[in-house]
Amino acid sequence: MKNTLFIFDIDGTLTDSVPMYLISVTKSMMAMGISNIDTDYNSYKHHTDSYALRYNYERNFKKEYSDRLLHDFETNLIYQMSTFDPVKEIEGAKSLIQFFRDEQIPFCFATGALPKPAIIKLNQCDIWYDERLLATSKTHESREGFVMDAIERAKTFYKKEGFERIISVGDGIWDLKTAQNLSLDFVGIGDNNKATLVENGATNCFANLTDFKNSLISLY
């Protein structure tokens, strides 16, 4: 287990933040003058903040998007999030991450969100993190891109040339597809998307993070 890397999605996997965050994303783009927003986020080519902004900016203004807009978007996101109550952890998230730390099991975070909103959500849930282990869509528009970034960050953080096994832990079909595209193992969390995950090839799913943690404890 000490040479296995676990990659955690954040929204919907560790933090109960999906509805609030999608509303914040929509309102943030509106604040930037984007009026015709495609809110069917699950159908996007890339389920990431950076792609959502570029896609909707270009379809609205019919001109090329600039990465400089990400700063304004992130600032707007932070404001929109502040209008909601603090998010809560997915039950067992804080305990699970502490278990990984106590047992010195390598892990990292890979999220389609931008860095500051991701950090706010983890802080609100009192979930431990180190920014060196946090890969986001600020540098990679595709989920495959920032998952690979997370792996490289983990190699540096844990001073390893590589890992014998890499397991992606997530709640959404996009998490599963990314793991499949990168030939990573996958663990599904939660019952909301379980049927879809199983239909698309997931073979290792848990109803909640506590069950997942207990399955790991049994290995010790």
Residue 63 scores a pLDDT above 70:
yes
Residue 219 scores a pLDDT above 80:
no
pLDDT of residue 144: 97
Residue 1 scores a pLDDT above 80:
no
Report the percent of the chain where pLDDT is more than 70.
99
CA distance 153 to 5: 11
Is 76 within 8 Å of 52 (Cβ atoms)?
no
CATH architecture of 4-17+88-217: 3-Layer(aba) Sandwich (3.40)
Residue 104 scores a pLDDT above 80:
yes
Residue 135: strand pairing partners: 110
CA distance 10 to 97: 12
pLDDT of residue 172: 95
Mean pLDDT (whole number) for 144-163 = 97
The whole-model pTM stands at: 0.96
CA distance 79 to 138: 18
Is 168 within 8 Å of 187 (Cβ atoms)?
yes
Instruction: Please tell me which residue, 153 or 64, carries the higher pLDDT value.
Output: 153
188 confidence band (pLDDT: 50, 70, 90): very high
Residue 218 scores a pLDDT above 80:
no
Residue 120 scores a pLDDT above 80:
yes
Residue 93 scores a pLDDT above 90:
yes
Torsion of CA 76, 73, 28, 123, to 10 degrees: -60
pLDDT of residue 62: 94
pLDDT of residue 116: 98
DSSP state of 19: H
220 confidence band (pLDDT: 50, 70, 90): low
58 confidence band (pLDDT: 50, 70, 90): very high
10 confidence band (pLDDT: 50, 70, 90): very high
